[in-house]
A = this chain, B = another copy of it.
């Protein structure tokens, strides 16, 4: 396995455009790194599909990014991280980071009471991947998980501070709050956009863990440690590949990215 080239891009992938919240955190944390993003917008969402289908789709995306010589793979999709991260790590010739290990590590580090809530898509939650990852770091943590299937469509509708979203959050989180958690992991790349509303519903005593920020910190540390940080101080290149350009793609994408989307290339499979 040859050493990756430090000037190569970081490859970030997601089932759709939610992973742009991870790209945004990487741009902020690592302003000189080139980033190549892949969003499988023709087949999104993965969160309700079977494990076999998700594994198959993940491998296709990893192959696509490796052909483009990325130096680091970041699984920005919680669903793929939950069911396919081990397979990606086993076969990839470059380092692999995923949002679940990043979010779990952050949660285990900051909880004081040991009570941690995790919210995500049905597939992520059913996989129990966050609870496993947290327990590997600290067996004494108590993890309470809750699937929130309506949060993704609510974010995509732009109802980030809407009564409907607030009522939905209250209903989903009620059984988690009764467990006296002090930390709540946002286990889906769409959820950072709901942070103000969720913090409000959760109250000030519960700390929210944003996996996008957690993984950007880990990526910075890994690149430094492995000598893979880009030495260039030129303006980096950002490339976006998607399998479909759906209705409202630009609007939603830019909401996630927090800036305008540059060149977007359509990949047809």
Interface residues of A (CB under 8 A from B): 41-43, 48-50, 53, 122-123, 126, 149-150, 152-154, 156-157, 159, 163-164, 167-168, 171, 243-248
Contacts and interface: CB of A to CB of B under 8 A. Distances in A.
A247 B126 contact: yes
Contacts of A164: 150, 164, 167-168, 171
Number of copies: 2
A113 to B, nearest CB: 30
Contact of A53 (B42, B122, B150, B248): B42
A150 B163 CA distance: 14
B150 A49 contact: no
Given A50-B245, A164-B164, 6 more contacts: A48-B247, A53-B244, A122-B247, A149-B153, A150-B150, A150-B164
A245 B109 CA distance: 37
A46 to B, nearest CB: 10
Contact of A244 (B49, B122, B168, B244): B49
Contacts of A246: 48-50
Contacts of A154: 150
Contacts of A171: 164
27 contacts: A41-B49, A42-B43, A42-B49, A42-B53, A48-B246, A48-B247, A48-B248, A49-B246, A49-B247, A50-B244, A50-B246, A53-B243, A122-B247, A122-B248, A123-B247, A126-B247, A149-B156, A150-B150, A150-B154, A150-B157, A150-B159, A152-B153, A153-B153, A163-B167, A164-B164, A164-B168, A164-B171
Contacts of A49: 41-42, 244, 246-247
A154 B149 CA distance: 9
Contacts of A248: 48, 122
A158 to B, nearest CB: 10
A154 to B, nearest CB: 7
A263 to B, nearest CB: 18
A126 B245 CA distance: 15
A168 B150 CA distance: 12
Nearest to A170: B164
**Residue among A157, A164, A167 with the highest chain B CB neighbour number at 10 A:** A164
Contacts of A150: 150, 153-154, 157, 159, 164
